[in-house]
Amino acid sequence: MFDLLTEMWSFAFMRRAFVATTVLSASVAPVGAFLVLRRLSLAGEAMAHAITPGIVIGFVTAGLSVMSLLIGGLVAGIGVAILTAFLAQRTILRSDASLASLYLIALAVGIFILSAAGSAVPLKSFLFGSILGIDDASMLLVGGVATVTLVAFAFLLRPLIVSTCDPVFFETQTRRPWLVDQGFMLLLVLNLLAAFKTLGTLMAVGLMILPATAARYWASTITVQLVLGFIFALSSCWIGLTLSYLFPNTPSGPAIVLVAGVFFMISAIFGPLGFGRRQRKPTVSNDIPVAQIHQEERAK
């Protein structure tokens, strides 16, 4: 085992891959945790596809330049997020339906532009990433996004917790509650762009959601979920990279996500809040007012 690790670390591309995924794990862990807690897991997947046209336009105009992909994906992601909020506020559609409609349109536009450009050579890299071929610019992108994310969470953590646990109370105590939501969506888009260069569009959300859902089976407090989410994400990256090294025909991105899926299944089966939970506390349905329950108890 020690010889294997020594052999892997003798290659520069493996060292860069381990460093990049370590930094990326620290960045996506808090984003994924709040996606799960706020029941926005599918929204994260939708946003991953919503940034597709911007990334494709950046690729068609400037190639695989990190800056062009970053600007294109950022403009597309922020545009879809703003338009989703606008439609949810001004029309009869809810935000989930608006986001689903917009991301389908964006995905179709991206695939159409990629096909019309006649460049299918980087399609595999586009879908599954290229973590073993990450360059200096991509390393800077991952490091910059991680820095912005962790610093932003130092200010957004408390508002996010309050808005997640009691959104009605948060709206009554804050003049502009939408700033927290839009700030979180911006962090989501940034992390999706960072994950795109390493894991591709199909695998980017996997490293966010699967470790967070696995951690949810083991802890009921947000702090512990954040820590466990990072541990699961980091372990998935390291084990996945090791498997891709041992089996050269195994793509690194899918290997990482599959390992994260194994952690999820183990947590669901053996976690204290999963199937292994023996005693479940009785819960009160949200459809029944608490005052009504108290009246019924007094009558008894």
CA distance 272 to 199: 31
Per-residue pLDDT of 230-240, as tens digits, reads 999 999 999 99
| Structure tokens, 220 | 């009921």
**Secondary structure of 11-47 as H, E, C letters:** CHHHHHHHHHHHHHHHHHHHHHHHHHHCCCHHHHHHH
Per-residue pLDDT of 243-269, as tens digits, reads 888 887 888 888 899 999 999 999 999
Instruction: Answer yes or no: are the C-beta atoms of 141 and 66 closer than 8 Å.
Output: yes
Residue 211 pLDDT > 90: yes
Query: What domains can you pick out in the chain, each with its CATH number?
Result: 2-278 (1.10.3470.10)
Instruction: Answer yes or no: are the C-beta atoms of 242 and 186 closer than 8 Å.
Output: no
Per-residue pLDDT of 132-149, as tens digits, reads 778 888 888 899 999 999
Residue 212 pLDDT > 90: yes
Least confident of 9-18, 64-73, 238-247: 64-73
The single residue listed with the structure tokens 């991509």 is 138
Instruction: Answer yes or no: are the C-beta atoms of 111 and 57 closer than 8 Å.
Output: no
